Amino acid sequence: MLYEMRTYTLPPRGVPEYYEKFGEIFEKRQAITRMVGMFHADHGELNRVMHIWEYENAGHREETRRAVAEHDWWPPPTGHLLRKQVTKIMTAPAFRPGPRLGEYGSVYEFRTYTLFPGKLAEMEKLWTPHIAAREELSPLAAVFMTESGSLNEWIHVWAYKDANERADIRAKTRELPNWPSPGSGPLIDSQLSELWLPGPYSLMK
């Protein structure tokens, strides 16, 4: 599967209006291809909304974009709110081939590790034998590897009930013998952690 992450920067206090306007066309758009995740930023750069769309492949994405452009209800009436738009095309590793859908937590941590070029496959290999032990503490909601946009990104998404549970679990991860995955540190050039809250139309919630 292919995943598209679209992040929109809005004006201050623009998120409620964005959700309201998007809700007017959500069911029509969802009937064409599935949006698996929708979030708004809670920590870090605020006033942002994130969509995660699911496609079978690049051809399916292009077909879908042509199809929705034929409808007068698309794009939704949110253009006046958009200050900035960023799109990333992503794949997923074999050990987490798609996002977990359903109720796993009210707070999602998106941890973006920018790797040195050519290291995504090695990162997947290093994580694979150790992820089960880490998931005994909290669910790994998704892992994405960027194909376009910002390249060499390893984006892992963790679901928590709240910020307090996140702090408790992260303390427990330091007691695991093989976490972070041994040997992964030298692959990482930079790290970014952001907390996002599920929106009203998200299948990850």
Residue-level pLDDT at 173:
96
The neighbouring-strand residues paired with 180 are none
Q: What gap in Å lies between CA 182 and CA 193, rounded to an integer?
A: 20
What is the CA angle 74-77-82, rounded to 5?
110
- 30-83 per-position pLDDT tens digit: 999 999 999 999 998 999 999 999 999 999 999 999 999 999 999 999 999 999
pLDDT, tens digit (0-9, with 9 covering 90-100), for 134-179: 999 999 999 999 999 999 999 999 999 999 999 999 999 999 999 9
Look over the chain and give the mean of its residue pLDDT values, rounded to a whole number.
96
Residue 84: predicted pLDDT: 97
User: pLDDT > 70: what percent of the chain?
Assistant: 100
d(CA 140, CA 96): 8
pTM of the model: 0.96
Report the pLDDT value the prediction gives residue 202, as an integer from 0 to 100: 97
Summarize pLDDT for 100-123 with one digit per residue, the tens.
Answer: 999 998 999 999 999 999 999 999
d(CA 52, CA 126): 26
> Cα Rg for the chain, rounded, in angstroms?
17
C-alpha–C-alpha distance, residues 6 and 78, integer Å: 14
**pLDDT at site 97:** 97
